[in-house]
A and B are shown apart, each in its own frame.
Chain A
Amino acid sequence: MLEAFNFRVILEYLPLYMQCFVATLWLSALSLLGAIIVGIIACAMRLSQSRTMSGIAGIYIESIRSTPLLVQLYFFYFGLPTIGIMLPEWVTGVIALTLNSGAYYAEIIRSGIQAIHFGQIEAGIASGLSYFQRMRYIILPQALGMTIRPMLGQAIVLVKDSSLLSLISIVELTRAGQLLTSERFMPAEGFLTTAAFYLVLYYMLKTFSNWSEKRLIFREAH
């Protein structure tokens, strides 16, 4: 198989791949940012005293976690136009990815916050710190330290999940492989190159994750 491997075609398509690589980076980065914000909000709602708030967040988190991302993606892609909302494909894709990862981030953040001993929060209250001061100086620094690894793990999942956006014809890395397959009938060159680009991203995030575990975890939290 290797002697038939056509590196010239890959070189020819390299500009397209680079462009698609950047597109994957952008789509993932945007969704990641959105997902963390959605996650923080959903988590705050889940942990709030209000039953309604907590219930809504619970339904959101459970329904996202119990259904496949691809179905959620199709739900927005085919569903939004029927209620009169016309969006470009990539916006639909980012919305689906954001809402999907947001639910997982909510759970990760919640586990981080709940791992903090209640005595620390009480000590904060006793010292006269306000809610935001307690969050800013006591809870969040520790929760972030403990959750940095699962958060980066979810970021890796998000980057890989962005490949599904190719199925609603957004041009990103996986789509580049599909294009090479359909234009030149070279699936091996197409998809193995795509896989190689994803592996680069994976190893970068994995290295960062290993490094952050050594550097960023606040030992006091344990």
Chain B
Amino acid sequence: MLGFYFSELMRSLPFFLKGVWMTVAVAGLSLIFGTIIGFITGIARAGRNKPARLIIGVWVDLIRGTPFLVQVFIIFFILPGIGIELEAFPAAVIALSNLTASFICEIVASGILAVPTGQREAATASGLSRYQQLRFIVLPQAMRTIIPPLVGQYVLLIKDSSVVSAIGVVDITRVGWLTVQRILEGMMVFGLVEILYFAICYPLINLSGFLERRMTVVTTKL
């Protein structure tokens, strides 16, 4: 019986690969949007504009204080109520981008604040504009503190993307859920799902650790 289920599972492998593609699409799009929005809000949060700082702070707390599943449901079920009809896929990308942006915002802000003020003062004294300071002095140095947790955040993004299966996005998790209704070997089916996620996340986790060690060495040399 086990052998039968196994060959049956192997036959539905193309279905699983479609799920991998969907996970990569959702996570990849959210990664791009989340990073862009996260950097913009992060720079604003470390900036001088008080109302902007306050609003972004409240947004970050609201996103951090509620479970991602609840956020997904709010976006998927409530936005149609105010006239915004969304398919599952865009709703998933919006929810995931929003979540990622809020975390990246904090990473970027703390990275920028970790750059010594003397650097900024020297830049002002040299007559650089605000934009030039940010572009040539602050961000390049902040990137050392930002990049390792950023890669770690991307791992979380891929793992969190499994939650959007709850609103019917056919990603790896959803494929597993659909398959287990037909092939009644839960451990085998979800074992395969875990292997697929592991194959994506494990290299990234190691990359994050590697970057952390590397970047720390660079900073201590300075």
Q: Which of B66, B70, B155, B180 contacts A78 (CB 8 A)?
A: B180
Number of interface residues of B (CB under 8 A): 44
Main secondary structure of the interface of B (DSSP, over half): helix
Question: Bound complex: CA of A70 vs CA of B197, how far in Å?
Answer: 11
Contacts A163-B67, A187-B81, A198-B66 known; A75 to B201 CB distance under 8 Å?
no
Q: Does A151 contact B (CB under 8 A)?
A: no
How far is it, in angstroms, between the C-alpha of A161 and the C-alpha of B156 when the chains are bound?
13
Residues of B near A163 (CB, < 8 A) are 67-70
Counting CB contacts under 8 A, is A49 at the interface? no
Contacts of B66 in A (CB 8 A): 160, 195, 198-199, 202
Chain B nearest Cβ from A143, distance in angstroms: 20
Contact B173 A177 (CB under 8 A): no
* Minimum CB distance partner of B200 in chain A: A66
| Interface assignment of A65: CB less than 8 Å from any CB of chain B | yes
> B193 at interface (Cβ–Cβ under 8 A)?
yes
Dominant secondary structure at the A interface: helix
Kindly provide the distance from the CB of B123 to the nearest chain A CB, expressed in whole angstroms. Answer: 32
Is A66 in contact with B186, judged by CB distance below 8 angstroms?
A: no
List, in ascending order, chain A residues with CB within 8 A of B70's CB: 163, 174, 177, 191, 194-195, 198
List the B residue with the shortest CB-CB distance to A77. Answer: B186
> Pick the contact of A188 from B78, B158, B163 — CB < 8 Å?
B78
Q: Which residue of B lies closest to A74 (CB)?
A: B190
Give the CA-CA distance A205 to B185 in the complex, in Å: 39
Q: Does B33 contact A (CB under 8 A)?
A: no
CB distance from B69 to the nearest CB of A (A): 5
Report how far A67 CA is from B67 CA in the complex, Å: 18
Mask, A60-89, CB within 8 Å of B = 1, is 001101111111101101111111000000
List the B side residues contacting A211 at CB < 8 Å: none
- Chain A residue nearest to B2 (CB atoms) is A82
Chain B residues within an 8 Å CB radius of A81 = 186
Residue of B nearest to A202 (CB): B65
Contact A66 B202 (CB under 8 A): yes
A71's contact among B61, B62, B194, by CB below 8 Å, is which?
B194
B184 at the interface (CB under 8 A from A): yes
Q: B205 contacts which of A65, A79, A174 (Cβ < 8 Å)?
A: A65
CB contact between A70 and one of B71, B77, B163 (< 8 Å): that residue: B163
Task: Kindly provide the distance from the CB of A77 to the nearest chain B CB, expressed in whole angstroms.
Answer: 7
A156 and B70 CA atoms in complex are apart in Å by 15
Smallest CB separation, B184 vs chain A (Å): 7
Interface code B28-63, partner A: CB below 8 Å = 1, 0 otherwise? Answer: 000000000000000000000000000000000110
- Nearest-Cβ distance from residue A65 to partner chain B, whole angstroms: 6
| Interface size in chain A (residues, C-beta < 8 A) | 44
Q: Which residues of A contact B180 (CB under 8 A)?
A: 74, 78
CB distance from A58 to the nearest CB of B (A): 12
For the complex, give the distance between the alpha carbons of A197 and B160 in Å.
21
Contact residues, B70-104 vs A (CB, 8 A): 70-71, 73-74, 77-78, 81-82
* A161 to B78 Cα, complex, angstroms: 22
Distance in angstroms from B122 CB to nearest chain A CB is: 30
Q: A4-B81, A68-B161 are in contact. List 13 more A-B contacts (CB 8 A).
A: A1-B81, A62-B205, A66-B202, A68-B159, A71-B193, A75-B190, A77-B186, A78-B180, A79-B186, A79-B187, A83-B187, A191-B70, A198-B65
- The residues of A with any CB-CB pair to B shorter than 8 Å are 1, 4, 62-63, 65-72, 74-75, 77-83, 156, 160-164, 166-167, 174, 177-178, 181, 187-188, 191-192, 194-195, 198-199, 202-203, 206
Top 6 nearest A-B pairs (CB, nearest first) are A78-B186, A202-B65, A187-B77, A163-B67, A79-B187, A79-B186
20 A-B pairs within 8 Å (CB atoms) are namely A1-B81, A1-B82, A62-B205, A66-B155, A66-B198, A69-B159, A71-B162, A74-B180, A74-B193, A77-B186, A78-B187, A79-B191, A83-B187, A156-B64, A164-B69, A174-B67, A187-B78, A191-B70, A191-B73, A191-B78
Q: Give the A-binding residues of B (Cβ under 8 A).
A: 61-62, 64-71, 73-74, 77-78, 81-82, 155, 158-163, 165-166, 172-173, 176-177, 180, 184-187, 189-191, 193-194, 197-198, 201-202, 205
